[in-house]
Chain A
Amino acid sequence: MEDKFDRGSALTIFPSDRHEDLMALVLSFVIAALVYFLV
């Protein structure tokens, strides 16, 4: 599967695990803020 992608890896579109973690962190806290203000 690795050859199919010239960026990221077979498991992720991000350049590294850290990038993916940070993205998950940002996404989670955006969701938390939405839940806090809207629900």
Chain B
Amino acid sequence: MVYTKRTVWPLIIGIIMVGYAYLVQSGQLAPAIKLLGTGRYAGEMLTLGYAFGGVAIAAGLWHLIAAPREGHADYYFSTIAGVMFIMLVAFVVKWGLDPLMANWGRDAQPTLGFNFASVMNLNYVVMGILAGIIVVNVFKVPAWAENGVRLSRLGLKTGVILLGALYSFAELAQLGKLSVLLIGVFVLGSVWLVLIIGSQRNLPNSMTGVLSAGVGVCGVSAAVAAAPVVQAKSLEIAYTIGTILLFGVLCMFLFPIVGKSLGMGYIQFGAWAGTGILNSAQVAGAALAFQPGGIETLKVAEIFNITRVLFLPIIVVWLAIWYVRREQAAQRQVQKVDAMQVVISKFPIFVLGFILMFLLSSTGIFAPARHYQGAYFDNSDKMLKRVDKRSGKEINNYLKDSDLATLTKELERVKREDQRSALQRLIDGKKVVSEADDDTLRGVVNAKILSKEGNAILTRAHRAVRHTAQKIAMFRDLIAWFFTFGLVGLGMQITMSSIRQAGGQPLVIGSIVGVIKAIGSLIVVMLLVAETI
């Protein structure tokens, strides 16, 4: 079988990509970039536009000129055209639809009262899958691109492995025993519940398995990590992601209302949101809605939220054994399942890769070992007063006398004792003196207690001591691209007929378990987490 099809399209895609990069470089797209607020992507628009465009043009010439014969060269080279096809859609998603939705969400906020783009999580994850689904159902994947679309899962797996670089042991060290216990019970409990209900409602084992990981752990990475061990189809992964996001929208609105009506404290609400809400972005949204004037709730919620990642390998092992047993039972095979054998043969090596990358990141080779997702606190003199490598100018980030005068004048406005003390220490030290003070002062900014000028000074002081590791920032960009690529390709494997075939069962089961998890965790948090701020 020969996979390379004679077509001009890869060449056209290449010309479009290079042309786009050229227009960005020459400044002709500046108004559009300004309108969309994508100026920060200008660098990658050039690099990726020229790089992928060049590859696509070369592949296009290969498709036109070469007379391929059956073999490895034909098989592997023919994937390039499909990869470029996905990348073109990914460019539209990442530089067009994603920022466009973010803008519309912000514009509609005064009318709607909420930012629909952030509430509905209309970012590149959702837009990528939707774009893929639209392409396959409206236009169909062209024959010359079909082989390359089969590389999308490789993209997702690579993204999951790289995700390990964003975490470090230092962050996990902050976790209390309670968060690990609470999360453990609810993660494992949710997985178990989905497996039970899914089996009772005769959902395919693959769908039940991937849904249980998604509902139990959280989001895209869990669904992707569990999918191979239960042999889940693209549609089933997309369904799981859709269920989590839709349920999360409901939670984002309801959790803060319930929390306030029950008079929950910040730690209590943070623990509840971090346990009960399934998607990380929506956890943050609910925490900020509950406590707009501070970030104590957000910090607790984030810690609870990332604890779930710890359980990912355990869940994958569990699902591998569960799936083999279920499949054997369906085929009426009676031999005993050797758990160790199943783990050795089924455990996805890329999940192991995620752990390896996490260990590597914990050594501090990509960022100071205490970093969390690349961000770290450093208020040492050498960070505050240094010479800029590019411009050669001296940078002094200590607060100036005029700043100190403004803050001293506005000190009276701050009523909360801890916030006022933190502000006083900032004035005395001319810099944020500790990580705890930094968190407290961010709360002062969020609460808009000070004047515009006062808030600007606090924000400057915060930026002076909070640093983002360049390497981790690069990993974050790469992960976003691998996920966009993978999710667009995943969407391209989902046809309307397969959606009709699957029906609405996953959404029903996911929601039932989500509600049980939310209510259960609420009760446990109210009973066990007593301390409030």
Contact = CB atoms under 8 A, between A and B. Distances in A.
Nearest to A18: B349
* Chain B contact residues: helix, strand, loop or mixed: helix
B165 A32 contact: yes
A13 B489 CA distance: 13
Nearest to B231: A17
Contact of A12 (B153, B474, B478): B153
Contacts of B96: none
Interface centre among B76, B228, B352, B360 (most CB of A within 10 A): B228
Given A31-B162, A39-B470, A39-B474, A11 B153 contact: yes
Interface string B334-349: 0000000000000011
Pairs of residues from A and B, 8 with the lowest C-beta to C-beta distance, nearest first: A24-B157, A21-B349, A28-B161, A25-B353, A21-B350, A6-B1, A24-B158, A17-B228
B385 interface: no
B75 interface: yes
A37 to B, nearest CB: 10
A35 B366 contact: yes
Contacts of B154: 12, 14, 20, 23-24, 27
A13 B161 contact: no
Q: How large is the interface on B (under 10, 10 to 19, 20 to 34, 35 or more residues)?
A: 20 to 34
Interface string A1-39: 100111111111110011011111101110110011001
B59 to A, nearest CB: 15
B493 interface: yes
A1 B233 CA distance: 12
B98 interface: no
Contacts of A11: 150, 153, 233-234, 493
B365 A36 contact: yes
B521 interface: no
A32 B360 contact: yes
B120 to A, nearest CB: 28
A24 B350 CA distance: 7
7 contacts: A5-B147, A12-B150, A12-B153, A13-B150, A24-B350, A27-B158, A31-B478
A12 B150 CA distance: 4
Given A14-B154, A20-B154, A20-B157, 16 more contacts: A1-B146, A4-B146, A7-B75, A8-B150, A10-B493, A11-B234, A12-B150, A12-B151, A17-B228, A17-B348, A22-B349, A24-B158, A24-B161, A24-B353, A28-B158, A28-B162
Contacts of A32: 162, 165, 357, 360, 475
B477 to A, nearest CB: 10
Nearest to A16: B228
Interface centre among A10, A14, A29, A32 (most CB of B within 10 A): A32
B326 interface: no
A13 B81 CA distance: 14
A23 B150 CA distance: 14
Contacts of A8: 150
A6 to B, nearest CB: 5
Nearest to A27: B158
B471 interface: yes
A25 B161 contact: yes
Interface string B167-190: 000000000000000000000000
B243 interface: no
B79 interface: yes
Interface centre among B76, B146, B151, B349 (most CB of A within 10 A): B349
